[in-house]
Structure 1
Amino acid sequence: MTRAESARWGVAVDSPTEERNPRTVDLDVVDTLELLGLINAEDQLVPGAVAATLPALARLVDGAAERVRAGGAVHYVGAGTSGRIAVVDAAELLPTFRLEEGVVTAHLAGGPPAIIRAAENVEDDTTAGRRDLGEVGEHDVVIGLAASGRTPYVAGALAHASEQGAFTALITSNPRSRLLGSVDVEIVVDTGPEALTGSTRMKSATAQKLVLHSFSTALMVRLGRTWSNLMVSMVATNQKLRARTVTILHQATGLDRATCESLLEQADGDLKVALVMSLADTDTSSARAALDSAGGVVRAAVQPLTTRTPSRRDP
């Protein structure tokens, strides 16, 4: 339903995500291949919409990095699909980047039970949003996710965060959201009407996934949790991941796998320690001490240990 149609029928449509998509009106009569093609064509619009938000997203990353370095935390807030995407993104940071618990936390309306069972009514509770962000402070970052831009749970959380002096942001697919203007960073991914009218688990959710994993990955890079484009902070908790640490060390140094395995054994499996040992040609204790002094950042740890000429192994 377009805005003109909604006006004629007296139906309030205040978000493009609720409008009827003229490109997919035959969704239920075309054959299956064409049906999938229509959905895919809409999906292809998402990356371009995300690209338009990158300047705002960069401000959010830099603001978050500054606050996390100062001891603050990042809080995602969402309901329904938005909240579930937030939960997944936050959870994956712990093993991927050895991130300490509490640095990035997701708040889903309805709590853990809502992860596996829809609880759509809880998104209307403004008070719950305030309560769930009760301990947020001026050093923290609060990111609300609301495809429609009007979710009361998210609105309550953002209002409380602003009152406490936190750095706030909104990720929405609605350029007409009433929450815009009340946050420090506005990330409006204008994906337009969904292929299936109002089903924001489609393009809007895809946009949120792209924005969040770009945000969190960039934040981890800025916090020194990577080296070049390698995941050197990962936690190797199973056979697959232990093999991956050997591969990453091999990619970073050019050393053969047997030597990489030996270095990792000496470093008690700590990939960063093994990498500093190799790059700086130093022992385990010196590598650990250098990393501690450098806040865990590999490049900063290596610099005082060596003045060697960069080799072909350096990126």
Structure 2
Amino acid sequence: MAIQRTEAMHDLAMGLDERPLVDIAAILAESQITAATAVLDALPAIARGAAAMAETVRGGAVLHYFAAGSSGLMAAADAQELGGTFSIPPEQLRIHMAGGLPTGVEMPGGAEDETTGLDVALAAISARDTVIAVSASGTTPYTIAAARIAAAAGATIVAIANNPGSALLEAADHPICLATPPEILSGSTRMGAGTAQKIALNMLSTLMAVRLGHVHDGMMVNLRADNIKLRTRAIAIVQQAAGVDESAASKALDAAGGVVKPAILMAAKGISAARAHDVLRETEGNLRVALAQIN
């Protein structure tokens, strides 16, 4: 059987343990930098996957993240940030990790081979949903089975894997192949492959937010200020987007209940909270379109 790229030996691996630690550190850093560039070859696929995710969220359906091991941790981290960063409702997000999300320092390795019960766990999945399935090898039984069950239900499959031609990529509507080089530690895909996966996941969610109108001039305008740090950030965003001073931005944010988009409209256009919300509904939440619509 051919050796997968994710399991192959790196050219610099021989005698690695005999080198000074600072030299090993340099090799590790360079290998991850090189792995990160694999994302550049997948840009069209990433953009298509993000557009599918945006369509799912706009339609009120659910994004499902499926993965195991370190890929699962990265997928979960990205999914868990979508609420705080872009105010994606929690009922539109599901995290499915082989063995469940860990509550301690151990992750059971055998869980990634377990597929029993997935059909029950996915009984409610619909053709309106999108699945983001992640596996470095592209052969993880849990992740492949989930993708196939979801596909049979008509859901859209966005798959991320690091081995070209792997089963997971072949099962996807939007296959994202991150052809990273062999790991310095053979098979330790939490390193180079994981770095590329994290970049791709971050790009998918950010591009999705752009398509949904949740990003304006590089600012996360669908933010809801629910703590001190976010309130400070939200005031700065309202100031910048509306062209007002800190006091006016703070007042608009208070009147909008801490929600940035209506606060910007209120501060920039002098309209009421009710009118701001109406315009945002009419423009499907796109701030730039909403600003242009109000004279």
* Superposed displacement of residue 139, structure 1: 1.1
- Cross-structure match for 2:166: 177
Whether contact under 8 Å (1:140, 1:166) holds in the other structure is: yes
- Cross-structure match for 2:79: 90
* Superposed displacement of residue 197, structure 1: 0.8
Q: Report whether the alignment pairs 1:290 with 2:279.
A: yes
How many aligned residue pairs are there?
295
* Superposed displacement of residue 291, structure 1: 1.9
Unaligned 5+ residue runs, structure 2?
A: none
**Alignment deviations for residues 164-211 of structure 1 (CA, whole Å, 9 cap, x no partner):** 111112200111413332221111101121011110110111111000
Alpha-carbon distance in structure 2 between the residues aligned to 1:300 and 1:31: 57
- Cross-structure match for 2:259: 270
Alpha-carbon distance in structure 1 between the residues aligned to 2:161 and 2:248: 49
- Cross-structure match for 1:24: 13
Whether contact under 8 Å (2:71, 2:135) holds in the other structure is: yes
How high is the sequence identity, in percent, across the aligned residues?
35
One-letter amino acid of the counterpart of residue 280, structure 2 = L
Alpha-carbon distance in structure 1 between the residues aligned to 2:266 and 2:9: 59
Alpha-carbon distance in structure 1 between the residues aligned to 2:174 and 2:225: 35
Counterparts in 2 of 1:61-80, with a 5 A limit? Answer: 61-80=50-69
One-letter amino acid of the counterpart of residue 175, structure 1 = P
Q: Report whether the alignment pairs 1:112 with 2:67.
A: no
- Cross-structure match for 1:226: 215
Alpha-carbon distance in structure 2 between the residues aligned to 1:292 and 1:150: 43
- Cross-structure match for 2:203: 214
Please report the TM-score for the alignment, with normalisation by the length of structure 2. Answer: 0.94
Root mean square deviation, CA, Å = 1.8
* Superposed displacement of residue 282, structure 1: 1.8
**Alignment deviations for residues 130-183 of structure 1 (CA, whole Å, 9 cap, x no partner):** 443332111111121110111000011011011111111220011141333222
* Superposed displacement of residue 65, structure 1: 2.1
Partner SS, residue 277 of structure 2: helix
Whether contact under 8 Å (2:36, 2:195) holds in the other structure is: no
- Cross-structure match for 2:42: 53
Q: Report whether the alignment pairs 1:252 with 2:241.
A: yes
Alpha-carbon distance in structure 1 between the residues aligned to 2:18 and 2:165: 32
Alpha-carbon distance in structure 1 between the residues aligned to 2:47 and 2:67: 21
Distance verdict in 2 for CA 1:66–1:179, change over 3 Å: same
| Bigger radius of gyration | 1
Whether contact under 8 Å (1:132, 1:157) holds in the other structure is: no
Partner SS, residue 40 of structure 1: helix
Distance verdict in 2 for CA 1:13–1:94, change over 3 Å: same
* Superposed displacement of residue 261, structure 1: 1.5
One-letter amino acid of the counterpart of residue 166, structure 2 = S
Alpha-carbon distance in structure 1 between the residues aligned to 2:2 and 2:110: 20
Unaligned 5+ residue runs, structure 1?
A: 1-11, 307-315
**Alignment deviations for residues 57-80 of structure 1 (CA, whole Å, 9 cap, x no partner):** 111112222233233222110000
**Alignment deviations for residues 57-106 of structure 1 (CA, whole Å, 9 cap, x no partner):** 11111222223323322211000001111111001110111110132322
Distance verdict in 2 for CA 1:33–1:128, change over 3 Å: farther
- Cross-structure match for 1:313: none
- Cross-structure match for 1:124: 113
Alpha-carbon distance in structure 2 between the residues aligned to 1:257 and 1:106: 38
Alpha-carbon distance in structure 1 between the residues aligned to 2:196 and 2:124: 29
Please report the TM-score for the alignment, with normalisation by the length of structure 1. Answer: 0.88
Partner SS, residue 88 of structure 1: helix
- Cross-structure match for 1:7: none
Alpha-carbon distance in structure 2 between the residues aligned to 1:124 and 1:70: 33
